[in-house]
């Protein structure tokens, strides 16, 4: 599976003599977009091989992973169970575009409190879930495990070897780990974190022991799924100028960060950058509902 790299033309890039291309992983599949396709691929093959008939996973109200798992599971004939963060959603999931999409694919929901959700990786909690739902193949939150990283090692191809820097969004870090494992020796990987906190580095090292990568932690805009009016304006301007849609949780923040770093001369003249568009566009509808309620500008679709 290979997607095109699209070269971006912007006055800032010309002025700074920087080349920027975007790998359109968002175009991989209409409903299992970007890195979630990569992360599910080998997991679903493994689940099939081991004879599992049910997938169980975790996510929040706007989770791209929940939407992708629901769709991919249906496609491959699995029953899917989504353990959803936030008991209050039980009464109003139908108003949430991500959750109603997942439900329409046949996903069964189990809503739990934010506090209970913190136990999501504990053996005891998984055992309890088995008692309620029977045997299942467990996909961790965000889908990050060894097989997910293996799938993400297929994002970069031989045709990408001439890029100096590869940029990617970072949630749990599984995607970044795959890029680190598959990069060429001369390439640097730059990860843009979508949430606050410094706990990520060890998770990434667990899956990708070698160096050659750094994290940019200044572009989370207040934290996971937090947005500001300037970010929304940036996403709309970027789409107007390049035709490329960005999501507000991950790729919008990364592109904002890349162009900010270009403006601040972070990159040497002549640097060739490849940014991975990891998808996430399904979340825009739900985010726009939230933005309208808060009287903030909305994302053009
Ligand atoms: C899930 C997701 C990420 C984060 O990927 P990780 O492997 O968890 O770091 C990045 N971008 C998009 C669009 C996503 O949906």
DSSP 54-88: EEEEEE-TT-HHHHHHHHHHHHTT-EEEEEEE-GG
- The protein residue whose alpha carbon is closest to atom 3 in ligand 1 is 171
Is domain 34-143 in CATH 3.40.50.1820, yes or no? Answer: no
Rounded distance, CA 178 to CA 181, Å? 5
Enter the pTM of the model.
0.96
With CA atoms as reference, report the closest residue to 73 among 98, 97, 94, 52. Answer: 52
Could you give the CA distance from residue 30 to residue 25 in angstroms, rounded to a whole number? 11
Task: Tell me, using a 6 A CB cutoff, whether residue 64 lines ligand 1.
Answer: yes
Residue ID of nearest Cα to ligand 1 atom 1: 142
Q: Which helix (H) or strand (E) holds 127?
A: helix 123-133
Q: What is the pLDDT of residue 200?
A: 85
| Domain 5-31+153-293, CATH class in plain words | alpha beta
Please tell me if the domain spanning 5-31+153-293 has the same topology as the one spanning 34-143.
yes
Q: Which of 137, 133, 59, 141 is nearest to 98 (CA)?
A: 59
pLDDT value at residue 198? 67
Ligand 1 within 6 A of CB of 144: yes
Could you say which DSSP state residue 145 is in? Answer: S
193 CB near ligand 1 (under 6 Å):
no
- Find out whether the beta carbon of 56 lies less than 6 Å from any atom of ligand 1: no
| Ligand 1 center–CA 142 separation, angstroms | 7
Vertex 277 angle, CA 274 and 8, to 5° = 50
Write down the domain spans for the chain. 5-31+153-293, 34-143
Going residue by residue through the chain, which has 301 residues, state the pLDDT in tens, using 9 for 90 and above.
889 999 999 999 999 999 999 999 999 999 998 999 999 999 999 999 999 999 999 999 999 999 999 999 999 999 999 999 999 999 999 999 999 999 999 999 999 999 999 999 999 999 999 999 999 999 998 778 999 999 999 999 999 999 999 999 999 999 999 999 999 999 999 999 999 876 789 889 999 999 999 999 999 999 999 999 999 999 999 999 999 999 999 999 999 999 999 999 999 999 999 999 999 999 999 999 999 999 999 999 9
């Amino acid at each position: 599976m290979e997607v095109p790299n699209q070269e971006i033309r912007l006055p800032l890039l010309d002025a700074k003599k920087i080349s920027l291309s975007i790998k359109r992983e968002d175009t991989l599949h209409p409903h299992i977009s970007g890195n979630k396709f990569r992360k599910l691929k080998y997991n679903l093959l493994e689940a099939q091989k081991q004879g599992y008939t049910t997938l169980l996973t975790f996510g929040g109200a706007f989770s791209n992973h929940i939407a992708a798992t629901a769709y991919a599971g249906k496609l491959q004939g699995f029953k899917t169970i989504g353990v959803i963060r936030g008991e209050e959603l039980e009464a109003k999931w139908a108003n949430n575009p991500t959750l109603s999409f997942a439900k329409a694919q046949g996903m069964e929901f189990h809503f739990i409190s934010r506090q209970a959700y913190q136990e999501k990786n504990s053996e005891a909690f998984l055992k309890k879930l088995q008692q309620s739902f029977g045997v299942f193949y467990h996909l961790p939150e965000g889908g990050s495990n060894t097989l997910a990283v293996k799938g993400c090692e297929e994002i970069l191809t031989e045709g990408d070897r001439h890029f100096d820097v590869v940029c990617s969004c970072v949630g749990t870090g599984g995607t970044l780990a795959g890029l680190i494992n598959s990069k060429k020796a001369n390439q640097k990987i730059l990860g843009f974190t979508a949430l606050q906190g410094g706990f990520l580095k060890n998770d990434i090292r667990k899956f990708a022991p070698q160096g050659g990568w750094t994290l940019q932690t200044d572009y989370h805009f207040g934290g996971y799924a937090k947005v500001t009016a300037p970010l929304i304006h940036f996403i709309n301007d970027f789409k107007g100028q390049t035709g490329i849609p960005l999501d507000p949780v991950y790729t919008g923040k990364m592109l904002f960060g890349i162009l900010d770093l270009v403006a601040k001369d972070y990159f040497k003249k002549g640097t060739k950058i490849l940014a991975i568009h990891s998808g996430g566009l399904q979340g825009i509808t739900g985010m726009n509902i939230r933005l309208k309620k808060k009287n903030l500008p909305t994302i053009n679709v």
